[in-house]
Structure 1
Amino acid sequence: MSSNASNNKPTIAELHKILATGKSLDQTITKELGYPDLTDLFSTGASDVYTTSFASLKQELVSITDKQFPEQIKSKIDETRCRSFVGILKEIKRAWISLDHYLYLWDYNTGGDICEYVDQDQPITAVGLVKPKPGVFNPKIDYLLIVATALQIIPLGISVSEPTQLGEQSVVNLIAVNLAIPSDDISMRSVVGTTDGRIFMVGNPTGDETNNTGHLYELVYNVPTKWTGPLCQLVCRTENILNRFLPTPLKMKSDSRVKSVVIDSERKVLYILNFDSSIEVVYIGTHEYTPVIKYKSVIEHAQNMCRQHQRVCDPEEFLISSLHIIPKKESQKIYLMAMTTGGFRLYFSGHANVLRMYAPVSGTTDRPSTLELVHVRFPPAEANLHPDEPKASYHTTYYSRGTCISAKANKEFDSVHITALASVQQEQSSAISFGYTNINRMPFIETAASTDTKFRIAAIDEIMTGNELRELAQQLSDPQRTFVAVSIGSICAYHKKRPVDILERLIANYRPSNESQRKEIMTFFDEFGKAETCAMCLSIICDSGDKQTIDTATYLFFEYGGVPAASKANQAPNNYLAHADTMSGVTYSGKHDGFVLFLARLLGPIWTTKLFVPSKDGKIYVNSCSKEDNPFITVRRKLLRLKTFMDAHKGFHDPATISDPRFQTLDSKILALYLDEQRSVHELYLFLLQCIDSIEFSVFLWDANTRNTLQRYISVDTPSLLKDLDIKMMLTMQEGRDFCHELVITAVDEVTVKNAAAFNETVSTDLQQRCPVFFSRGDFFFFRGVEYIRRALHEDSENEKRFFLQQSLSQFQQASDQISEAHISSICSFYQAQSFHVGVVELMLDRAQKLDPQQQALAVFESGGQGDEASKALYDARTKTYNYIFLALKDARSLLQPKIDMGRRVPIADKAVYVKQVFESALQNKDPLFHYKLYYWYINENMTDELLAVDTEFLVPFFSKVVQDEYISLNFLWQYYRGKTQFYKSAICLTRLAEMPSDQITLEARMKYLAYARVNCRCGEKETDISNYTRVQLAERIDTRMNACRLQIRIQNILKNSGNIDAIAAAKELDYQLFDDERKLYSYAERFPQLQDLFKSI
């Protein structure tokens, strides 16, 4: 372990700051993972604001490949020269084309793995890929490929074999499922499916030349029974229900004009688009088909919304060409988007009045109650378009995550048009929501770009990369969004440029001497903001392989990242880690906030990913990530690159002081801002180190779980935190940190059992090498101590066992103040069971000293419990610590009982000697508060006789100053002094006992004390440190008191024997004290005549 790693190990205070930093960063991560809800963008009924993307220097949509179909398929196209259909099956990474009755599938990335289906002789009209219903087919079948002809519907099973080695490609296999059914001379146009296996199709009667009719069909199939296979039937959902029971000649005609259908599997809703641009809404919950509404006046309502804009709109431009689902991730209220032939986008909600000023935010369900047009988005204005020139039609559209790509038909070929939410930083007013929609909303601004093609586009889709972050949240190394446009004969792939891609290109071409390039960079900083641009610079620094690009990005980061500034009184600082802990508040620089953004975006993909998931049988938990495809490892690699950057620029994050030469020219106010930001960045750097090591610790847990080390812990019946464990839990919650300790202990248990002979290969050593910073120095000492304890358990030799116990104690003492209360209790119980009570005493005494090195608890004790809260807390902590020792002492003392059941305890040869050693280890300590508490424990345990044998420097002060009960104090001290042959002091204590007013001492006892005092006084004649005069004075005092006591005893006896109730009570009063003057007794003679003879004789 390097010294640098050792220096970065967190202290307890730093750990609290790390957890606080994690909680603050969690808010940023949550924000970065989300999308702006579309309802926050719709301030009016229609909008048309577009901005020229910064990517206009280089096209925002860049064509990267234009692949021709495989030669085998191209030859077949030339041979057949018949009507064909093409499409993309992105779920299995395949393109498809139907040529008459031939169907071909192939890998659109490589052009390989060509799969041919020719087992039927009818022209294919539609092809669709759907998920199968669970439990119906062979488990090897991943999807169903629906092949539709005019005569039959043929479902085929699809099995995908993923590559096992680098360079291999996936293989698709077609599997017959024997589920073909007649299509009743219906030519299907499209096939869609739900995530739970329902299949819907749109078709029209074969030979319908107008192609403006159509029905919606559902292919219904069920789980096979014991006696039959899957039952399958084709149900028309849009015909009159009576037709299902009538023969074909008698069926009623239908005016159904279904054009297409889309399914919202999240909300269980199906939308039907008709040729007249009306939209039908159907709820399709489990086994349901419930029509909700048919929206007929879409075009009219859209035109009304657009009247406030100056652009002239042709009604035909509002004919709807396609429908697109708005997922819940993009909006909780907007359900559907419709693309028109004129490029208008119409947005619909499933509930009424969702955009009204005081529309409730919550309370609505996913199930739609209506369909309401809430917003119309104009297409980008076209330049150089002649008024008389016919407008081209948008005919094919793909929409996802705020990006809309459409194919527009021109004279010869199609052009591709893209619109996307603008990534530029927009000023927005702050608004607080109290359960209602915000009045102030973000402006709906989009970028727009287009590119020409040399073909007619049949379908557009997106290649899924697994990266669904917003463009600004993506890193340079993240795959760009890739879209494919397929035509008859070729597939063209497009990359959408992100801001970080644009900045990288600007940086790669940047020359400091070129003024225009410098202005471009400054414009970029202004357009996207310092924080966002600095985050992009960090992404380029960590991901680019070009040294010059990295150097330039580093220069721009520090040169244009800005400086911290004081926040105004009425200004909310735009800091991603909230306000600084200063009176004035700080708005951090773009460098600081850019670092926060970049770190949050790196952590986002794994922040809440659970480390363990239930197994298929639900009995245990298994690793959530495999070694081959582990996003945690990828993120850790990126974090290490960021650490390399930070280590190379220590001035950016190292703790700074006022004496730092960099700050000598700054005034005090600005200096405070710089120091505050420096402190904050340093805390972020420490958090970065924790992030790196938390991922490595996750890998350690996976390795341990693979070896079944954790199974014993996680397979118990009681709920375990293991199901909730993620990086967020580790870095934001004390509960998560504590649970990590428990997992390490579990790993120690298993490793110690399996590798008892090779103790050098320990869990603590492995962790110190893997994640030296994640745990504190105290944690590693604790883990090592646990390892020694486990080793001691498996030793047969008493000497070896004792050796490992002593080693464990040494390790625990290094971190005694950092061990949790629960672990301390377990350690003490274990030590007692192993007959190692001395270990409890020494560990707890060391813990008490480290918890309270300044002896503040003693001051609280001596002041009768007075003190500040911190001192009182230390006193309570010490008291808890001492209690473990007292329990151990009591347990050790119980060993002296004659018939003690040792149970599973380690046997002890000489119990008396052992117990004596335990008590001596406690008494040898020099902690005054412990001694005081210990003596109280002796007294409470009725061990006064044993306490008299104790000889410590704290015993006499305890009884003379601490013990408030003078009777207990003097009664102990006279015996203690006599045992130490300090007879004069013993006599003094006895005399004071006899003289003290107390209802605990009778006159006979006082007389006895005085007699003992007289004896001790005579025995002290040989004490050279006491003068003869002093001793004589004490003897005279004792004699005087003895005479007074004799007189009181005579009076008491007379009163007791009188039989008078008052006299007996008065006799009892005489026990309370000795009267030093006989005249004080005359009052008794006045009250009781029977005493007069006695007083006359005196």
Structure 2
Amino acid sequence: MYSISNSDLSIRNQSMDCSRVQMEALETAGKMLEKHMVLDSNYASLYDKMRIRFNKNCPTVSGLSEHDYPQGAAFTNIKQLVPINKVPIPPEIIENFSLIQSHSLMGLFPEINRAWLAVDNQIYIWDYEHRTDISYFDGLNNTIIGVGLVKPKPNIFKSNVKYLLVLSTISEVVILGMMVPEQNTVSISSGPINEGQEEIQLVKRVLYSILTDGVTMSTIKGSSTGRIFLGGTDGNLYEIEYQRDATWFSKACRKVNLTQSSLSYILPTFVNALITREDSIVQIAIDNSRHVLYTRSEVGTITVYNLCEGGQGFRCVVSISEEMIVKQAVKIQKTLENTYFKTIVSISAIEARECLLLGLVVTCESGTRLYFNPGFTLKNQRPTYLNLVHVRLPPGFTGAVPLARPDKVNLVHYSRGNLVMNTAPLGIQESIWLLSSDSYPFQPSFMESQTCLIMDSKPWVLEEVGGAAFSSTSLCTKEEPPLVVRQHYERLAKYVALGPHGVEIYSKLRPVDLLAQLLKDGNGPNSQSVKQYFHAQSEDQACASCLILACNSSTQNLTISEWATRAFFLYGGEPKPAPSSLQDTSPFSPNMISTPQPGSTFMTSQQPQTDAIFSAKHNGLYLYVSRILRPVWTRRVVKEVAMGELDTAVTLAEISIVCSHLHAVSCFIENHSNILPPSNNVNVTVMKDVTVMNDKTLYETKLQEVYLMERRSLEALKMFIGHA
């Protein structure tokens, strides 16, 4: 009979103890990571920053206080919009551009990093950044008056037909296919295709062609579900419905007037002309997250359409004139003339990931923004009306030190809280403005930084390119966290201004890029501006940003990486005991750990507590790792694709991105063992307010304990990363 010796039992017990210790360490690290995720989620929404709830749900106004556009902080002196490139139009296109016969249009396809130029009945498409991959089409009989790029409906075309090119003339609408090689597509990217360096083939065989029946359609917009909408000069909204093949009962492609009343079909044409007033649709904006469509007419009328759940329906909700909008705005801000709210130049849909209770932002020629709620509630995201809830004035209205004020806004791009405007005041050079709240992620009020740059030439188009490595649905199920939380997965946002002289490309700096710029300007971490950055952003947040730079092993960033590492240790502080054992700890303060005292809550402090305030280095590490894991932390690992059949819910590409970031952090910890506090022989700096003889000994004991706590916590994190 086999017998177990005492030595075997001892080894087994040691193994079990080791496993138990590992499990406890992993559990400790996991709980600490979750606490930091909760801390990152403890931010005010854009709606709450507007203080609407605190105003008894009545409309509010901002932009009048100097706190709305702060000045003097370390990062406010840095231009957050940086010109990075100027690229002329390819010479072979310029030759044709100079031979314009009657009509020309220019535009950008940010989805594929391409620019286009339509000259009469010809269109050129090219890679604007590299001046390569020029496509050309001249198969139309009439002048091109509208151009759009649309993602096709699924399962209609071959898999490599990723986009549809929609061209409209005075007589017909033509649809062509655009093919992208399969191996060059990036499944996890919600941004442009792999920086636009692939060859994109324009299929010159017309897929669909349909007559316009005399209606000019110059505004074209596609939805994420593959629907194609066109705005007519007659004021109606049209849709091009298409399918794979024609059937007995329907054509392969047809044009549908979505907004014309049934009565107009039975009335004579001259009667329709008398009772209707033509007001061209000049802009279409779509909220693809909630399937809501907005239109803006030539005279400023805004109309809301409900595309219904799934995006396949259509229903007109409400229409509001510019005159009514101006009256509402003046009622909210009575001290300003109505001229500040006149002449709407742009409408932009606000998606659910930015704010659940806002749906539309309207930008006026003065730079004033008007925010609308189409009837959204936290439980119901369907539009029912259109109410003006907030007026945001541009810089220049503060009482103390007046700032430069935008004027004669011409072009606008708004996305995820960032407003970019092209202004063209009379007699003054063209400018580009950026207003962004990304520098103030956890502030309770609506604060924005501003940047204004002089442009070389007048642009015709202004668009944003770039995007997230993870889609918005991966990052959060509701409103997405601030940029500082997700910046390590974000590509640099780029803004492209296109005009007859070419493109001017600007990049918008993320919070971590601001830190890198401060380190570069100060030639290291010892400058006053870097110290101010740590103070303004909080040491924990700044340490997390330092880690993004320190973990970047790119040879182009070695100096910045070294400086960021030095800043991390220089300003990251040390753990220390809490000022008082009686101090309550907040459920949203993961930097403090405590052992609760026993007995009744009415018992006051006869029994000591072991309270520790972790260092900013500790908290920055946990913050950064929690942000790396955030996209996949709460997601299901598998999903049911059929009865009894499971498939992975997280793609290999997504896991690879997460693991690469974790590996970089692991290497950082391995290469900097001094990040782990010593477990003994701690050098103690005695508190200045020692009044009792044994206070010094008590403080030394507590300090020894908190150093040990931080060391164990970081060792647990190191083990957690290794297992992940």
Q: Is 2:338 the partner of 1:336?
A: no
Other structure's SS at 2:29 match: helix
Q: Is 2:561 the partner of 1:561?
A: no
> Matches of residues 986-1025 of structure 1 in structure 2 within 5 Å?
none
Q: Is 2:460 the partner of 1:458?
A: yes
Q: Cα gap change, 1:661/1:39 in structure 2, threshold over 3 Å: closer, same or farther?
A: closer
1-structure distance, mates of 2:92, 2:122: 13
Q: Is 2:669 the partner of 1:646?
A: yes
Which residue in the other structure is 1:379 paired with? 394
Other structure's SS at 1:179 match: strand
Listed as ranges, the gaps of 5+ residues in structure 2 are 1-13, 53-59, 186-193, 473-480, 597-608, 687-695
> Matches of residues 733-812 of structure 1 in structure 2 within 5 Å?
none
Q: Cα gap change, 1:54/1:586 in structure 2, threshold over 3 Å: closer, same or farther?
A: same
Post-superposition offset of 1:677: 5.1
Which residue in the other structure is 1:524 paired with? 533
How many residues in Structure 1 have an aligned counterpart in Structure 2? Answer: 644
1-structure distance, mates of 2:406, 2:645: 63
2-structure distance, mates of 1:597, 1:533: 10
Confirm or deny: 8 A CA contact 1:33 1:604 kept in the other structure: no
2-structure distance, mates of 1:80, 1:616: 57
User: Quick one: which of 183, 186, 197 aligns to 2:212?
Assistant: 183
User: Quick one: which of 617, 626, 642 aligns to 1:591?
Assistant: 617
> Matches of residues 395-794 of structure 1 in structure 2 within 5 Å?
395-410=410-425, 411=427, 413-424=429-440, 442-467=444-469, 470-474=482-486, 479-510=491-522, 518-543=527-552, 545=555, 549-563=560-574, 564-566=576-578, 569-570=583-584, 572=586, 575-576=589-590, 579-581=593-595, 583=609, 585-608=611-634, 621=647, 625=651, 630-653=653-676, 656-657=679-680, 660-663=681-684, 667-669=697-699, 671-673=701-703, 675-676=705-706, 678-694=708-724
Q: CA offsets per residue over residues 949-988 of structure 1, 9 Å max, x none?
A: xxxxxxxxxxxxxxxxxxxxxxxxxxxxxxxxxxxxxxxx
Post-superposition offset of 1:653: 2.1
Post-superposition offset of 1:340: 1.0
Confirm or deny: 8 A CA contact 2:178 2:200 kept in the other structure: no
Other structure's SS at 1:656 match: coil
2-structure distance, mates of 1:591, 1:300: 53
Other structure's SS at 1:539 match: helix
Q: Which moved more, 1:472-481 or 1:294-303?
A: 472-481
Post-superposition offset of 1:143: 2.2
Read off the aligned partner of 2:127 and give its amino acid letter.
Answer: D
Which residue in the other structure is 1:22 paired with? 30
Q: Higher strand proportion, which one?
A: 2
User: Quick one: which of 40, 45, 49 aligns to 2:48?
Assistant: 40
Which residue in the other structure is 2:230 paired with? 201
Q: Is 2:198 the partner of 1:169?
A: yes
Read off the aligned partner of 2:48 and give its amino acid letter.
Answer: D
Post-superposition offset of 1:46: 0.3
Q: CA offsets per residue over residues 904-937 of structure 1, 9 Å max, x none?
A: xxxxxxxxxxxxxxxxxxxxxxxxxxxxxxxxxx
Q: Cα gap change, 1:94/1:617 in structure 2, threshold over 3 Å: closer, same or farther?
A: farther
Confirm or deny: 8 A CA contact 2:114 2:128 kept in the other structure: yes
Read off the aligned partner of 1:173 and give its amino acid letter.
Answer: L
Which residue in the other structure is 1:217 paired with? 238
Post-superposition offset of 1:452: 1.2
Confirm or deny: 8 A CA contact 2:435 2:451 kept in the other structure: yes
> Matches of residues 868-947 of structure 1 in structure 2 within 5 Å?
none
Runs (4+) off by over 6 Å: 165-168, 613-618
Which residue in the other structure is 2:70 paired with? 51
State TM-score, norm by structure 1.
0.54
Q: CA offsets per residue over residues 604-656 of structure 1, 9 Å max, x none?
A: 34445666667799956369545xxx343344333333233323443432561
2-structure distance, mates of 1:151, 1:426: 53
Which residue in the other structure is 1:277 paired with? 300
Q: Cα gap change, 1:417/1:461 in structure 2, threshold over 3 Å: closer, same or farther?
A: same
Q: CA offsets per residue over residues 742-777 of structure 1, 9 Å max, x none?
A: xxxxxxxxxxxxxxxxxxxxxxxxxxxxxxxxxxxx
Confirm or deny: 8 A CA contact 2:160 2:182 kept in the other structure: no
Tell me the C-alpha RMSD between the 2 structures.
3.6
> Matches of residues 258-273 of structure 1 in structure 2 within 5 Å?
258-273=281-296
Other structure's SS at 2:208 match: coil
Read off the aligned partner of 1:488 and give its amino acid letter.
Answer: P
2-structure distance, mates of 1:223, 1:548: 56
Other structure's SS at 1:280 match: strand
Pick the structure with greater CA Rg. Answer: 1
Other structure's SS at 1:591 match: helix
Q: Cα gap change, 1:619/1:298 in structure 2, threshold over 3 Å: closer, same or farther?
A: same
Which residue in the other structure is 1:77 paired with? 97
Other structure's SS at 1:592 match: helix
Which residue in the other structure is 2:601 paired with? none
Confirm or deny: 8 A CA contact 2:577 2:702 kept in the other structure: no
Post-superposition offset of 1:404: 0.9
Q: Higher helix proportion, which one?
A: 1
Post-superposition offset of 1:664: 8.8
1-structure distance, mates of 2:428, 2:644: 59
Q: CA offsets per residue over residues 696-732 of structure 1, 9 Å max, x none?
A: xxxxxxxxxxxxxxxxxxxxxxxxxxxxxxxxxxxxx
Post-superposition offset of 1:480: 1.7
Confirm or deny: 8 A CA contact 2:679 2:707 kept in the other structure: no
Confirm or deny: 8 A CA contact 1:51 1:446 kept in the other structure: yes
1-structure distance, mates of 2:547, 2:496: 30
Post-superposition offset of 1:474: 5.0
Read off the aligned partner of 1:420 and give its amino acid letter.
Answer: S
2-structure distance, mates of 1:61, 1:318: 28
Confirm or deny: 8 A CA contact 1:419 1:446 kept in the other structure: yes
2-structure distance, mates of 1:548, 1:140: 42
Confirm or deny: 8 A CA contact 1:323 1:339 kept in the other structure: yes
2-structure distance, mates of 1:425, 1:67: 34
2-structure distance, mates of 1:103, 1:35: 47
> Matches of residues 815-894 of structure 1 in structure 2 within 5 Å?
none
Other structure's SS at 2:551 match: helix
Other structure's SS at 2:683 match: helix
Q: Is 2:314 the partner of 1:294?
A: no
Confirm or deny: 8 A CA contact 1:243 1:252 kept in the other structure: no
Other structure's SS at 1:142 match: strand
2-structure distance, mates of 1:599, 1:39: 29
Q: Cα gap change, 1:335/1:155 in structure 2, threshold over 3 Å: closer, same or farther?
A: same
Q: Cα gap change, 1:617/1:405 in structure 2, threshold over 3 Å: closer, same or farther?
A: farther
Which residue in the other structure is 1:825 paired with? none
State TM-score, norm by structure 2.
0.80
Confirm or deny: 8 A CA contact 1:460 1:485 kept in the other structure: yes
Post-superposition offset of 1:319: 2.4
